Structures are given as structure tokens and as C-alpha cells.
A and B are shown apart, each in its own frame.
Chain A
Amino acid sequence: DAGVIQSPRHEVTEMGQEVTLRCKPISGHNSLFWYRQTMMRGLELLIYFNNNVPIDDSGMPEDRFSAKMPNASFSTLKIQPSEPRDSAVYFCASSSRGGDLTEAFFGQGTRLTVV
């Protein structure tokens, strides 16, 4: 398996623009997680899905952030409008057991820079 695939790897955008980050989880995994990593706050869980359904979005910082998982093989994280403080590395991870986390496999991340 190719692992968790994220795109793009790098994104530079201007403040106010819409940004969409994409994730393809490992085939057969039924849980998907979006994390944000910054120097100041470390790794923060933004949202996670189980069987394509959002279970906990309490980590989503504000209404500018939204996430979807239309099917088991694809998820998006959207920021609209983007702000410089959204600059971070965004990781997607997937795992195979929804109610009992065994191991989360991480993608290589998307480095977002908002100027």
C-alpha cells in the first residue's frame, strides 16, 4: 500500500484565499484524522471521522475551517478565508479500528504558508 497520501505537499497562498487540502487514507482504514502542527502549539487534532462520519470536530479552530469525507477513500480540509496564522503543517492520518485506536498512519503532510 502507498500509505496515506496528501496533496499538495506545499501550498503558498495569499490571505483571504480559499485553501483545500486533500487526503487519501490507506485502503480499508475506517478512521481518518486531521492534525495541525505548529511550533507554538505542537500537534493538534482538528477533527476525526469514523466510517466517513465526523465524530469529533472540537479541535477545529473556527468556522473558517471545514472538513468533509464524501467516501472512504477521500477527505478534504478547507480553509476559507485563509489567514497568516493558519500557516502550519497539516497532517492526515488513518487507522483501521474506529472505536479502538491501534495505530495511526500519517501522511507526509501539507506545508501551508499564508502570506
Chain B
Amino acid sequence: AQSVTQPDIHITVSEGASLELRCNYSYGATPYLFWYVQSPGQGLQLLLKYFSGDTLVQGIKGFEAEFKRSQSSFNLRKPSVHWSDAAEYFCAVAYGNKLVFGAGTILRVKS
């Protein structure tokens, strides 16, 4: 069965530091992968997506993610975190026409 694992429930980084949020998926076919961000009281906003082609994808707000088939991973990265990046981040895999989400990682940014 398809599943998404985000092993880190909370991550705290200093403003200006680099960030990597981990995501592992379980899916038999070529996955469609997504990262969404949710600010408090808001809906989910798409950061980036991977369907095929270049395994390093660029998204909005300076985020990028790398698809590694051998590791079944799709980790999200940002070279320099801003205080406004504090939010909850969700990794998701498309299964048919459905999105299966991970449990989310809450990012805290300290000044």
C-alpha cells in the first residue's frame, strides 16, 4: 500500500541556516511527489512537485527537492531559512487521483 513517512515531527533551525526535511514514500510505480506548506489557520499551499525528468526540482519561496528513486526519498531543502518559513510541511504522493500525505513536519525558526 502507498504511504508517506516524514520521520521528523518537529525541526528547529536558526534563521539563515540551511534546512532539510525528510520524506520517504512507498509506492510501486513511478511516483508523483509533492511538498505542501501550511501556515497556522491556513490551507495547504503547493511548494513544488515532481512528475518526471530532472530529479532536482525547484519550487516557490527558494525551496527545492531531490527525488532519489534508490532511496525512495524526496527531501525538501532550502539553503537559508527565513523566519517566515515557520510552518508545517507535508510531503505527499499521488496514488491514482488521490493524494496520500505524510504526517507533517513542524518547522520552528529561531532568531
Contacts and interface: CB of A to CB of B under 8 A. Distances in A.
Nearest to A103: B46
Interface string B6-47: 000000000000000000000000001010100001111110
Interface of B is mostly: strand
A43 B43 contact: no
Given A101-B32, A103-B46, A106-B44, A45 B100 contact: yes
A93 B38 CA distance: 14
B90 interface: yes
A43 B45 CA distance: 14
A101 B103 contact: no
Interface residues of A, number: 24
Interface of A: 4, 31, 33, 42-43, 45, 48, 50, 55-56, 91, 93, 98-109
Given A43-B104, A45-B99, 16 more contacts: A42-B103, A42-B104, A43-B101, A45-B100, A48-B97, A48-B98, A50-B97, A56-B97, A56-B98, A91-B43, A98-B97, A100-B97, A101-B32, A106-B44, A106-B45, A109-B42
Interface of B: 32, 34, 36, 41-46, 49, 51, 90, 94, 96-104
